Amino acid sequence: MTKHLTDFDKLMAFQRETEALAQIAGRLGWDQETMMPRGAAEQRGEEMSAIEGVLHARRTDGRLAEWLDRAEAPDPVAAAQLRLIRRSYARATKIPADLAQTLARVTSTAQGIWAAARAADKVADFLPTLAEVIALKREEAAALAQGGDLYDALMDDYEPGATAAVISAMFDRMRPRLVRLRAAVLEAAQPPKLNHRFGQDGQMRFARDLALAFGYDFDRGRLDLAVHPFSSGSGNDARITTRVVETDPFNCFYSTIHEVGHACYELGIDPDYLLTPLGNGVSMGVHESQSRIYENQLGRSPAFTGWMFRQMLDRFGDFGVASPEEFARIVNSVQPGFIRTEADEVHYNLHVMMRFDLERALIKGDLQVPDLEAAWNDRFLADFGVAVDRPAHGLLQDVHWSCGLFGYFPTYTLGNVYAGCLHQALRADIPTLDDQLAKGDTSAATGWLREKVQRHGGLHEPRAVISLACGFEPTEAPLLDYLDAKFGALYGL
């Protein structure tokens, strides 16, 4: 039987099982955040460590090197598969197996400790674990960087090809325009605050319908509650979560649309790539471009919020908002809030820039964990003009560091930048977009994104997939122009 299999075939068959096992590990992560009983946390740490050990063994399996040496790609798609397997193998063989397993176990446990510390609002409960995670991540980064920049080595995992130097330069170009826009908006007349309670069941029902409106396929996914909204899984099982705050339904609704963007990227990939290296979103930045364009450029457009306003009146009755115009301003209200995931489009990237600087310092060793809270709070006061009132609003707000996701935060802003580019190209291709969005119909836009970006999966490099979709090299300019125009109009600047 095996006589007729080429080395490429053998490689892909082996890789397919690895991808299936990686899906399993992802599903366990989903379970941990949504379904797992609390008392199972420690045992789950051992389970995650065991499956990570299996994955690491497969990703460093000696047969991979032999197959990769001998395999010939029959076509460009196969060549892309080989490229990604080569990259994964090169990366995995640099990390010692026991380090990989320890990281898996410690970060699994750390998430439970983070969640408890956040609930209790106690930084001290989290810092020892965080220090342990950082020490392990620095060890991992050193193994990967082999003399190069530690932070770049970590970031490469999430955004192949990106470097802190390039990101940092881009952030430096973005910051003045964002700060200027922020100041102008905060000086303008502010929309009223929502003053109404929206029950959990009603919010979840509308969240479900919003997911459907953005093309989410519930036959290949599901929507649940979690502390921190996330999406998880690939192929035919891409699940999303959201959270409910009774006084702030937009938290639930826009978290849902955001995660739908991520999930639709995975669900939109060419089915031929199922359980292959190409069968996943190509980078976190490109992933975020999908979630952000769904959430912001489409979901927070005045055209779409007009439809949403009527829907909410039908579902929740009069909730004290006078007109679609006022509703659009409330949805797009600009406030120096504490929480990144709840931040408006003007403040959001400032949150990211702050985390980027802090975590680079942590990984470099310039900032020590005991000094982190003060550094966070000082920087937040400087950038946002308000003092952090409690740790859950400060450094305990995000799950990322407990998971060991250092180098991940900048991909959020990169995603916004890519979303800005895609939005410019999308508007040029679909001049009637606002008419459709005003009817709650996102199908032309999401169809365009599926065709131009999502279906390719990992076929092109991150920047390439954006430039191929847009017809131009991505820069920060379209995002900044869009923000100036949108908030200028909403706030009469």
Among 7, 9, 10, 27, binds its own copies (CB under 8 A): 27
Interface with its own copies, residue 272, by CB under 8 A: no
Considering only 35, 65, 165, 374, the residue that binds its own copies (CB under 8 A) is: 35
Q: Which of 259, 266, 288, 345 is catalytic?
A: 259
**Least distance (Å) between residue 236 CB and its own copies:** 5
Comparing C-alpha atoms, which of 340, 339, 333 is closest to residue 389?
Answer: 339
Judged by CB under 8 A, which of 51, 143, 186, 245 binds its own copies? Answer: 51
Q: Does 49 bind its own copies (CB under 8 A)?
A: yes
DSSP state of 274: T
Stretch that binds its own copies, among 40-48, 59-67, 81-89, 176-184 (CB under 8 A): 40-48
> Do residues 418 and 286 make contact, with C-beta atoms less than 8 angstroms apart?
yes
Candidates 2, 3, 4, 39; binder of its own copies (CB under 8 A) is: 39
Each residue of 315-333: b (16+ CB within 10 Å) or e? ebeebebeebeebbbbbbb
Residue 143 in contact with its own copies, rule: CB under 8 A? no
Whose Cβ is closer to its own copies: residue 44's or residue 329's? 44
Q: 104 or 421, CB closer to its own copies? A: 104
Shortest Cβ 22–its own copies spacing (Å): 9
Closest to its own copies by CB, 270 or 484: 270
CB-count exposure of residue 220 (10 Å: 0-12, 13-18, 19+): middle
Minimum distance from residue 284 beta carbon to its own copies (Å): 23
The answer to whether 116 contacts its own copies (rule: CB under 8 A) is: no
Identify which range of 32-40, 67-75, 394-402, 440-448 contacts its own copies by CB under 8 A. Answer: 32-40
Is 4 a binding residue for its own copies by CB under 8 A? The answer is: no
Q: Does 239 bind its own copies (CB under 8 A)?
A: yes
Cβ 280 to its own copies shortest distance, Å? 13
Q: How far is the CB of 267 from its own copies (least distance, A)?
A: 9
Q: Residue 268 or residue 415: which is nearer to its own copies going by CB?
A: 268
Q: Provide the CB-side half-sphere exposure for 286 (13 A, CA).
A: 33
* Alpha-carbon torsion, ordered 413, 418, 424, 428, to 10 deg: -160
Owner of token pair 């995975």: 266
Is residue 202 a contact point for its own copies (CB under 8 A)? no
Distance CA 93, CA 105 (A): 19
The answer to whether 33 and 93 are in contact (CB under 8 A) is no
Q: How far from the centroid of its chain's Cα atoms is residue 67's Cα?
A: 33
Give residue 168's identity as a one-letter amino acid code.
S
347: contact with its own copies by CB under 8 A: no
Query: Closest Cα partner for 457 from 302, 250, 192, 277?
Result: 277
Determine which residue in the list 112, 191, 221, 458 makes contact with its own copies, applying CB under 8 A: 221
As a whole number of angstroms, the distance between CA 42 and CA 481 comes to 48
Q: How far apart are CA 94 and CA 274, in angstroms?
A: 27
Nearest to 196 by CA among 315, 345, 339, 324: 315
Q: What is the DSSP string of 393-451?
A: GTTTS-SHHHHT-TT-THHHHHHHHHHHHHHHHHHHH-TTHHHHHTTT--HHHHHHHHH
Nearer to its own copies, 19 or 159 (CB): 19
Catalytic residue status for 52:
no
Q: Which stretch binds its own copies (CB under 8 A): 194-202, 219-227, 368-376, 386-394?
A: 219-227
16 touching its own copies, by CB under 8 A: yes
> Is residue 37 involved in binding its own copies (CB under 8 A)?
yes
Instruction: Considering the complex, state which of residue 239 and residue 423 has its C-beta at the smaller distance from its own copies.
Output: 239
Q: Nearest distance from residue 189's CB to its own copies, in Å?
A: 46
Please report whether residue 59 would count as binding its own copies according to CB under 8 A. Answer: no
Residue 492 contacts its own copies per CB under 8 A: no
DSSP codes, 436-492: HHTTT--HHHHHHHHHHTGGGTTSS-HHHHHHHHHSS---SHHHHHHHHHHHHHHHT
Place of tokens 């970031």: 155
Question: Using CA atoms, how far apart are residues 455 and 441, in angstroms rounded to an integer?
Answer: 21
When binding is defined by CB under 8 A, the residue of 7, 28, 311, 316 that contacts its own copies is 28
- Contacting positions for its own copies (CB under 8 A): 16-17, 20-21, 23-24, 27-28, 31, 35-40, 42-44, 46-47, 49-51, 53-54, 217-222, 235-237, 239, 274-275
**Catalytically annotated residues:** 259
